Amino acid sequence: MISKERKTLGELHERYVMPLRDLLVIAGAVPDALLFESVTIGRQPSAVVLETGIEPTARDWPRPDRQFLFYALDIPDFRAGLKKWFALHTRVSPALQYFAESINENKYSHARLLSVASTLETYHRSLYDAAWRRTYKRKNPNKKTRGPFLLERITHLQRISGVPEGITGFSEAGRQLFVASRNHFAHLNEPRYGYSTQDVYDNAIPSIARGVALVHACVMRRLGFTARQTKERIELIHGHLVRQ
């Protein structure tokens, strides 16, 4: 990658390297890290920059039973899609970075559910908050304008994704369980919406999978995939988990 701007190595890393790393991790659902970089200025010799971090555990490559969310050639307009990704990453950061890191951890944990919930919340707040508030004010002229709660944010993202609830697993009940789980893990309070603590723990894996499926759907639509293309890929990748 060639930068036309003079930036520090740290700035170049954040502007170009991290978005590409996160896109590869999210699209492949495969842990990855960039622990060293080669940098060249003009005709000068290359300099190798070592990055701190933990190298993810290697997986079998390729695995015939593991499908990527999508490949570069699948993006309808690759050049436009890549520009949209960089713009999206800038607006939604650092949430997308944390989301990619949760994939790198390669485990279903309470922390991962919180990370996915934070990603969905930040994604919606960064892109749709203003429009949601205007709509709320128009529909509720006699009430004080407020921001959406997490359940309302997820419901809105589910609707505009164009992917049926049965594909992401985020039916009304699934969304309520996800939010109840997030609130319990974040604040240790009693779950709402009629769910018990046992329900939260018993359904942690499918709840995380549903949240990840919705993030994937949102990202794919933002990159230019049609609702049908997104539906097919989400069903292939997540179908066995979200229906647990």
For residue 143, give its domain range. 69-242
Examine residue 100 and state whether it is found in any structural domain, yes or no: yes
3-state secondary structure at position 214: helix
- The structure tokens 């594909």 sit at 167
Position with higher pLDDT, 139 vs 51: 139
Structure tokens that stand for 109 in this block: 């944990």
Q: What is the pTM of this model?
A: 0.84
Q: Residue length, the chain?
A: 244
How do residues 5-48 score in pLDDT, each as one tens digit? 666 656 665 677 788 889 988 888 666 555 555 666 666 666 55
What would the pLDDT profile of 62-119 be if each residue is shown by its tens digit? 445 567 899 989 999 999 999 999 999 999 988 998 898 888 776 778 899 999 999 9
- Please indicate, yes or no, if residue 118 is contained in any of the structural domains: yes
Whether 198 is in a domain gets the answer: yes
Residue 27 lies in a domain: no
Does 240 score more than 80 pLDDT? no
Residue 227 in domain: yes
CA distance 160 to 121: 15
* pLDDT at residue 63 in the model: 47
Q: Compute φ and ψ for 242, nearest 5 degrees.
A: -70, -20
Kind and range of the H or E run holding 167: helix 165-168
Does residue 46 belong to any structural domain of this protein? Answer: no
The domain total for the chain is: 1
Instruction: Please compute, for residue 45, the number of CA atoms within 13 A of its CA located in the half-sphere on the CB side.
Output: 2
Residue 131 lies in a domain: yes
- Domain assignment present for 135: yes
To the nearest whole number, what is the mean pLDDT of the chain? 84
Q: What local confidence, expressed as pLDDT, does residue 180 receive?
A: 96
Q: Which amino acid is at 57?
A: T
